[in-house]
Structure 1
């Protein structure tokens, strides 16, 4: 049986769980959020991604009830949540510091919110056991936070946040304190837990890799505005601007002037001494228009011999090699001084590879490899 694709944002019948409608947030003269509209759907794992100061944490704090919009409204399940205090919202927030109670056991940390809500002892016992099982912490229930690892503390904070079965869980840089290996493992755990509980997760992160791994959709932000909201694959393959292309992953950006060359095909003049490049774009460009061609390094082929029949071929010398274990990225300097990155998978052992520093090499790519961007 084929899995049904989860894409409620493409279904006009679906009503969003969260709706930002023309929301602006000012702190004095500073505009943190600028006339922003966004829909987030039930059971989404949604990532707000951007550099420090882009407004992503302000958006999250408005959802949590710690800030109120200056203009516009925010709805949760069709209700305007502006006037609703934080403790009355079906929203829970997991902070970067985890904010666990050091003197309470793991069990009591998870039970804390349920006790405050005056739940019965049976209900509390059942729910805490469920959460311990979900986060694989059963054997640590009687320990205190200082007696477990950072990754386990992170899971306690998650269990406590989910114990009250919120409609929406907000995660503010939740994996920032973990080392890289543990962070990657925990990303998959988060995804499994989100899928199991069906809770809508909204995560704030400045880590592109994290957003691309966990999220159903990513909102790339800059200076209080949404630049692009799309699935990770579409953000990576079809960025809508140089800003997004450059912010997500590694990319070569080549600037030039376009001339139409047939169906969706363009010739890009980018150098006085090198032939024009060939590229395709569904979006129209006018003759003489400045365009930026964004090409991912893995789509550029590097060879020691001139390739036959490639759409785009340039020659240069290897300036630098970044060896990343599974991948190598070659920085190749062209005669014009432009540097283009090409990436190859390291399927052979290091002694068998045939390209090294200062070698003359050929770079080639297809006309469809890059994305033509107007700005």
Structure 2
């Protein structure tokens, strides 16, 4: 039995859990959020991604109730939350520092919010036990935060945040303090926990790999605006601008002018004495319109001989090779000085590599390999 993929944003009958409606936030003369409208759905793992100062943390703090909206409205489950104090929202926030109580055990840290809500002891015990099991911390219940590892502390903070079963959990750079390997393991744990609780997660991160791993949708932000919202695959394969293409992963950007050549097909005039590039685009471009072709390095192949039948083949020489274990990225300098990056999977041992520094090479790609962008 095939289950439809989770995509409530494509279903007009679905009601969003969170609605930002023309929200602007100013601090004095500085506009942190600029007329932002965005829906987030129940059970989503929604990532806010962007450079420092792009407004992602401000957006999150407004959801939590730590910042007020200057103009516009934010709705949670159909209600305007402007006048609802932070402690009365069905929202919890997990901070980068975890903010655990050092003198309390793991168990007491998780139970803290439930005790404040004056729940009966048996209900507190049952809920804490559930959270310990969910985060695989049963063995550490009696330990203090300083007696467990960073990754375990992170899970305690998560368990404490989820104990009160919030509708929405906000995570501010939650894995920033962990080393790379642990971070990757924890990303999958987060996804499992999010899925099993059904809580809506909104995560703020500047780590593109993290956003692409955990999120159902990614919002790429810049200067208080959302530039594009899409699934990780959509953001990577069909960015809507050079900014998004460049922000996510490695990319080659070739600037030129478009010349229509049949349905959805264009020639791009670009380098001096270079044959035009053949590209496809469902977005229309007019004759002579400036455009940018974004091509991922893994969609470009490299060879010593001129390819017999290629949509696009360009000659250059190898300037640099970045060896990443499973991949090698070749930086190929074209006659006009432009650099094109081509990536190959290292399926053979390093000593068997045939292309090395200074070698004359050809790089080639298909007409459908790149995305034609206006700006």
Q: What TM-score, normalized by structure 2, do the two folds share? A: 1.00
Q: Deviations over 1:205-263 (max 9, x none)?
A: 00000000000000000000010000000000000000000000000000001111111
Q: Is the 8 A contact 2:272 2:336 kept in 1?
A: no
Matches within 5 A, 1:75-94: 75-94=75-94
Query: Distance in 1 between the 2:164 and 2:296 partners?
Result: 44
Matches within 5 A, 1:53-202: 53-202=53-202
- Runs of 4+ residues over 2 Å off in structure 1: none
| Alignment: residue pair count | 375
For 1:163 and 1:343, locate their aligned partners in 2 and report how far apart those are by CA, in whole Å: 45
Question: Which secondary structure state, in structure 1, belongs to the residue aligned with residue 33 of structure 2?
Answer: strand
Give 1:2 shift: 1.3
Alignment partners' CA distance in 2, 1:355 and 1:161: 52
**How far apart are the structure 2 equivalents of 1:367 and 1:122?**
65
Secondary structure of the structure 2 residue equivalent to 1:2:
coil
Q: Give the deviation of 1:4 after TM superposition.
A: 2.0
1:334-349 superposed matches below 5 A: 334-349=334-349
The answer as to whether partners of 2:267 and 2:278 remain within 8 angstroms in 1 is yes
CA distance in 2, matches of 1:314, 1:282: 25
Show the counterpart of 1:294.
Answer: 294
Q: 1:272 is matched with which residue?
A: 272
> Structure 1: where are the runs of 5+ without partners?
none
Structure-2 separation of matches of 1:347 and 1:140:
43
Whole-Å separation in 2 of the counterparts to 1:132 and 1:271? 60
**Offset at residue 272 of structure 1 (A):** 2.2
Q: CA deviation at 1:308?
A: 1.1
Instruction: Confirm or deny: 8 A CA contact 2:332 2:341 kept in the other structure.
Output: yes
Q: Mind listing any 5+ residue stretches in structure 2 that lack a counterpart?
A: none
Shift, 1:273, TM fit: 1.1
Instruction: State how far apart, in whole Å, the 2-side matches of 1:324 and 1:45 are.
Output: 30
Q: In 1, distance between residues paired with 2:106 and 2:349?
A: 47
Aligned counterparts of 1:101 and 1:183: Cα–Cα separation in 2: 23
CA distance in 1, matches of 2:239, 2:98: 34
Equivalent residue number for residue 3 of structure 1: 3
Corresponding residue number in structure 2 for 1:214: 214
1:85-133 C-alpha deviation (Å, 9 max, x unpaired): 0000000000000000000000000000000000100000000000000
Q: Which residue of 2 aligns with 1:50?
A: 50
Tell which deviates more after alignment, 256-265 or 23-32: 256-265
Report the equivalent of 2:31: 31
Q: What is the alpha-carbon distance in structure 2 between the residues aligned to residue 107 and residue 237 of structure 1?
A: 44
| d(CA) in 2 for partners of 1:134, 1:360 | 56
Structure 1 CA distance, aligned partners of 2:193 and 2:273? 56
Q: Aligned-pair distance for 1:173? A: 0.2
Q: Deviations over 1:52-82 (max 9, x none)?
A: 0000000000000000100000000000001
Shift of the alpha carbon at 1:3? 2.5
**SS in structure 1 at match of 2:372:** strand
Whether the 8 Å contact between 2:50 and 2:221 is mirrored in structure 1 is yes
Name the counterpart of 1:362.
362
Distance (whole Å) between structure 2 residues aligned to residue 252 and residue 37 of structure 1: 31
Q: 2: distance between equivalents of 1:210 and 1:301?
A: 27
Contact 2:319-2:331 at 8 Å conserved across structures: yes
Aligned residue number for residue 312 of structure 1: 312
CA drift at 1:271: 1.5
